[in-house]
Amino acid sequence: MASNCIKLPLSLASALLFLATAALAQAPPPGDVRRLGQPISLASSSTLTVTREDPQAWRSGYPEFKNIKGILVAFRLQFKGTYGFSFGTDYEDASKSDIALRCGNRWFNFDKMAAVNPETGRAQIGSSQNAGGVPLPWRGRPPVRHDLYR
């Protein structure tokens, strides 16, 4: 009987430890984690920050980005599996694109992209043809607007 009384707290402790470990293992990384398809209002995201790869910082360090006038959106992809995937861009109707920015009833495709390597912190600049060394080819029509540099 006494041994049973001792076992119970130990079992509870083990269960709690297991639950705590599981919770930590599943805790999302810093930032706003969303599933694809959940829109984000940029107005409510103004407090989000980027630490190591501060877009403003490396933006100023790369001439390609220095004079860009526009809206910047930064995010990380965390997809499952061992394969990549694709995003579709519809240049005729941006509302049909997989990545778009909506302003009221108007939808906009992105005009330029970059990728920052988390290991090196280096930005790889995208263009209308490629993503600057990243094997991330553009397919189909290049972005329509070329008036980014003003």
Partner 1 sequence: MIFIDETGFQNHLLVLFFDIPADCGRENLVFSITQERDKVKHTFRFDAGLASR
Q: For residue 43, give Cα distances in angstroms to 27, 109, 130.
A: 25, 19, 30
User: Which CB atom, from 9 or from 28, has the smaller least distance to partner 1?
Assistant: 28
Report the C-alpha gap between 98 and 76 in whole angstroms.
Answer: 15
Mask: binding to partner 1, 91-130, rule CB under 8 A, as x and -?
-------xxxxxxx-x-xxxxxxxxxxx----x-------
Tell me if 101 sits within 8 A of 110, measured CB to CB: yes
Q: How far is the CB of 46 from partner 1 (least distance, A)?
A: 5
Q: How far is the CB of 73 from partner 1 (least distance, A)?
A: 5
Q: Give the residue from 85, 84, 86 showing the smallest Cα distance to 139.
A: 86
Residues 14-73 that bind partner 1 (CB under 8 A): 28-29, 31-37, 39-43, 45-46, 48-50, 53, 55-56, 59, 65, 68-73
Residues 129-148 that bind partner 1 (CB under 8 A): 134-140, 145, 147-148
Q: How far is the CB of 24 from partner 1 (least distance, A)?
A: 17
**Segment holding 55, helix H or strand E:** helix 55-61
Q: How far is the CB of 143 from partner 1 (least distance, A)?
A: 9
Q: How far is the CB of 21 from partner 1 (least distance, A)?
A: 21
Q: Give the residue from 132, 30, 20 showing the smallest Cα distance to 78.
A: 30
User: Which CB atom, from 11 or from 56, has the smaller least distance to partner 1?
Assistant: 56
Give exposure, 125-137, as e/b (b: 16+ Cβ within 10 Å). bbeeeebbeeeee
Which of 61, 88, 133, 142 is the binder for partner 1 (CB under 8 A)?
Answer: 88
